[in-house]
A = this chain, B = another copy of it.
């Protein structure tokens, strides 16, 4: 809003919340744990975010922006000559290459919308935004199905503790893309 003594404070609290969720999961997220991680007093977190849901909304939105940037950087996605399925499968490969940590964190925030209606609009923003990005290469319905399949593949890896198989992902994404 207007000026603040510490204009960065709100943002630093969001960053701290993301680190806390990454380290301890949403179950470990509390006003106090965030305050400690951000090195601000307890009252400061409750002032900027009246409820934990508000904080989660901000964290999910930032997480979405991070991923969206990764996809925008992938120029090949807009190149009509490139193999769309292969590009997407490669993207997921990079996504998992840095360990499960990042994927776990971002999916945990995303999946939190299941039980928190307040998060659903933000989750929908991400789905719609990504679908629009992919719509430059296919029709909207196919774009949504590609996202669904990517989500499902990631979940199988994350939930069962398996390994990501890029060739398999490429094959199946290719079938959907047609």
> Interface residues, chain A, CB within 8 Å of chain B?
25-27, 104, 107-108, 110-111, 113-115, 117, 120, 123-124, 127, 141-142, 144-145, 147-153, 155-156, 158-162, 168, 171-172, 175-176, 178
Contacts and interface: CB of A to CB of B under 8 A. Distances in A.
- For chain A, what secondary structure do more than half of its interface residues adopt (helix, strand, loop), or is it mixed? helix
Most buried by B among A25, A26, A123: A123
A147 B156 contact: yes
A152 to B, nearest CB: 3
12 contacts: A107-B114, A114-B158, A114-B159, A124-B159, A127-B159, A127-B160, A141-B172, A145-B168, A148-B155, A148-B156, A149-B149, A149-B176
A148 B149 contact: yes
B175 A156 contact: no
A141 B168 CA distance: 8
Given A113-B160, A144-B168, A147-B156, 9 more contacts: A104-B115, A108-B115, A117-B161, A120-B161, A124-B159, A145-B153, A145-B172, A149-B149, A155-B155
B156 A127 contact: yes
A124 B151 CA distance: 16
A158 B127 CA distance: 12
